[in-house]
């Protein structure tokens, strides 16, 4: 069963179809790069994939479960258990330490040993020993590593990344891409990443180009 499936998905905004009839199947263990110029629908597609938004028509399935028609409790559970999200702007909580940011998803879902798991996750993104730091005490690359640790700590089926290296210098961006690649290879994670950078497509298993809400090429 694919981790993510879009079946003829449309998402209309007034005056525009941000996603316009997309069908797409993403198997487990794939690193998929979504490319295309600004406004082509990448973020809309990721939000649909993360059950943060819902299709106007068509179906989005995560691990075989349709995102539309779920009640609030089921939706919260789906997002907490199945989805991890990382952003260009990192979106760390500034008043929490790195370790506290990473353990938050576990605390929200009532899991035991949250701190130990968070520290283990931080070590896997090469931030062992920095768990006590606040975001403002970290570099951009380190902040994105914390965000990656947070997005993966609950072992989601799907990691969604919206321009994850867009705010980083190119050398740092390269190390973040290498980290995402390693996570896919070592943990069989599944990642869908919206990106502008040619470098991102080099680490991807598959590149899909969007234009005006549609998929142009699906290699």
Q: Residue numbers of the site for ligand ADP (CB under 6 A)? A: 13, 16, 18, 36, 38-44
Q: Encoding tokens for residue 169?
A: 């210098």
In whole angstroms, the minimum distance from the beta carbon of 84 to Mg ion comes to 18
Nearest Cα residue to 98 out of 139, 146, 145: 146
95 binds, among Mg ion, ligand ADP, none (CB under 5 to 8 A by kind): none
44 binds, among ligand ADP, Mg ion, none (CB under 5 to 8 A by kind): ligand ADP
Chain positions 39 to 98 lying near Mg ion, rule: CB under 5 A, are 42-43
41 binds, among ligand ADP, Mg ion, none (CB under 5 to 8 A by kind): ligand ADP
Nearer to ligand ADP by Cβ, of 42 and 124: the residue is 42
State which H helix or E strand residue 99 sits in: helix 98-108
Residue 33: phi and psi, rounded to 5, are -100, 130
In whole angstroms, the minimum distance from the beta carbon of 204 to ligand ADP comes to 17
Nearer to Mg ion by Cβ, of 42 and 154: the residue is 42
Residue 29: phi and psi, rounded to 5, are 85, 15
CA distance 124 to 179: 9
The phi-psi region of residue 81 (left if phi > 0; otherwise alpha if psi is between -120 and 50; otherwise beta) is: alpha
18 binds, among Mg ion, ligand ADP, none (CB under 5 to 8 A by kind): ligand ADP
- Structure-derived torsion over alpha carbons of residues 189, 192, 198, 204, reported in degrees to the nearest 10: 40
In whole angstroms, the minimum distance from the beta carbon of 217 to ligand ADP comes to 16
Give yes or no for a contact between 11 and 58, defined as CB atoms under 8 angstroms apart: no
Nearer to ligand ADP by Cβ, of 67 and 142: the residue is 67
CA distance 96 to 56: 37
In whole angstroms, the minimum distance from the beta carbon of 206 to ligand ADP comes to 18
Residue ranges binding Mg ion (CB under 5 A): 42-43
């Amino acid at each position: 069963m694919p981790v993510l499936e879009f079946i003829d998905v449309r998402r209309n905004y007034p005056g525009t179809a941000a996603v316009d009839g997309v069908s797409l199947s993403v198997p487990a263990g794939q690193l998929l790069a979504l490319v295309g110029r600004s406004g082509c629908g990448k973020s809309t597609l990721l939000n649909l994939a993360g059950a943060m938004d819902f299709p106007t028509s068509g179906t989005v399935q995560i691990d075989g479960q349709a995102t539309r028609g779920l009640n609030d409790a089921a939706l919260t559970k789906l997002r907490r258990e199945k989805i991890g999200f990382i952003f260009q702007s990192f979106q760390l909580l500034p008043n929490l330490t790195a370790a506290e940011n990473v353990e938050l998803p576990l605390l929200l879902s009532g899991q035991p040993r949250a701190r130990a798991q968070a520290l283990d996750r931080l070590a896997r993104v090469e931030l062992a020993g920095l768990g006590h730091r606040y975001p403002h005490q970290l570099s951009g690359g380190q902040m994105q590593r914390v965000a990656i640790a947070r997005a993966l700590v609950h072992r989601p089926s799907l990691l969604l990344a919206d321009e994850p290296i867009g705010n980083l210098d190119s050398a740092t961006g390269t190390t973040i891409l290498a980290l995402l690649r390693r996570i896919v290879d070592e943990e069989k994670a599944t990642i869908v990443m919206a990106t502008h950078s040619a470098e991102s497509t080099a680490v991807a298993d598959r590149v899909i180009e969007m234009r005006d809400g549609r998929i142009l090429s699906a290699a």
